Amino acid sequence: MSGLLGLPLGARGSGRARYGRAMALYGEGKLSAAQLEAYRVAAADDRRPPWQVLQDRGLPPPEDLAPGPGALIRLLLEECDRYLASLPGPGVGEIRQLLARWGQGALHLPTPRANALVEAHLAPALAAVDGHPGLVGAIAAAAPLLDWITYDLYPPAEIGAAFAKGHAYCTLIGADAPVRAEDFDLGIFLIAPHVLYRDHAHPAPELYAPLTGPHGWRFGPDRPLVEKPAHQPVWNPAHRPHLTKVGPNPFLCLYGWSKDTALPAYVLPAADWQALEALRLRDVV
C-alpha cells in the first residue's frame, strides 16, 4: 500500500492530483480527516511520498484505490461551487444558482482529447494558484478525463495566431458536457503566458473567475489596460467588449455563461493589438 493512488512520484502536478483523488476518497468515507491532511501536506512537493507523511503521523496508508472518473468530476463541480462561494461581485450568485440547478444531473463521461496547450501549461498554472488547494487538486485529478478544446470559430486573421493556438477550454456543465444543461455553460479556461485575447464580445453574459494573476483587462477597444489580480472575478454583461492580456503565469479561470450560449462571439477591431501582443505585463506595472 504505497498511498500514491495510482500516480507516480515526481511528475509535475502529481502531488496536487494525489490530493484531489484523496479528497474524493474522503468524500466516499474511505479516508479519515487526518489521512486527508497528510495528503495535503505531501502535495506541496511532487516528489514527497504521502506514505512518509502518514507514517510520520502514525497513520495507516489507504488502500491504493483511485476514485472513478465520475467521482472525480463530481468532486470538481463541488470544488468549483465552493470556490465561487468565496468570491464577491456581480454574476457570482447567478452562476452558482445555475450550477445548483443543473449540477446534479446525470453524468455523461467524455472521451478525453489530448491537447498540447494543456499538457504544456496546465501544471504550471496550477502551481501558480495561491491557496484553494481543494480546487487545485480537483482540477489536476479530473483534467486527464476531460475533453479539452481549442476554439476554432474565430477567423484566425481577426483573433490573432497567438490566441488561436494558445488557449484551451473544457466544459463541465453544458449542452455537450459531462453534466448536461440547457443554455448554461460552466467550465475551465486556460491561455498560455503573454498571449493577447483580443477585443471581443458575445451575447452570453459571462463570469470569469481567474485562479491565476495578475493579468491585464480592458472593456472597450483602444481603452487603457487595467491590471487585475487572481481571485478577482470579472462579470461581462451581454455584448460588453472585453480583452485579456495574459501575464507571465498562464491564465487559468473558471467561466460561466448564463444564457444565449449557442450564439457566437465576435471580434471588435482595435488599432493597438500589435503593441499589446509585444507587451509584457511588467512593462505596465
pLDDT tens digits along 232-278: 999 999 999 999 999 999 999 999 999 999 999 999 999 999 999 99
- The verdict on 83 and 56 lying in the same domain is no
| Regions in the chain scoring below 50 on pLDDT | 1, 285
- Looking at the structure, tell me whether residues 85 and 32 fall in a common domain: no
Domain shared by 136 and 249, yes or no: yes
Instruction: Write down the pLDDT at residue 283.
Output: 56
pLDDT value, residue 66: 65
CA distance linking residue 141 with residue 73, whole number of Å: 9
CA 31 to the chain's CA centroid? 26
Buried b or exposed e, range 43-59, using 16+ CB within 10 angstroms: beebebbbbebbeeeeb
> Using CA atoms, how far apart are residues 228 and 249, in angstroms rounded to an integer?
13
Residue 199 sits in which domain range?
71-284
Please, are residues 198 and 205 in contact by the beta-carbon 8 Å criterion? Answer: no
Residue 130 shares a structural domain with residue 31:
no
- The label of the residue with cell 451575447 reads 203
> How many domains are there within the chain?
2
Residue 157 belongs to a domain with what CATH number? 2.60.120.10
* Average pLDDT for the chain: 92
Asked if residue 199 and residue 96 are part of one domain, the reply reads yes
- Asked if 75 and 63 sit in the same domain, the reply is no
Phi, psi of 49 (to 5 degrees): -70, 130
Rounded to two decimals, the pTM is: 0.85
Within a domain: 76: yes
Any domain includes 75: yes
Q: How far apart are CA 164 and CA 148, in angstroms?
A: 14
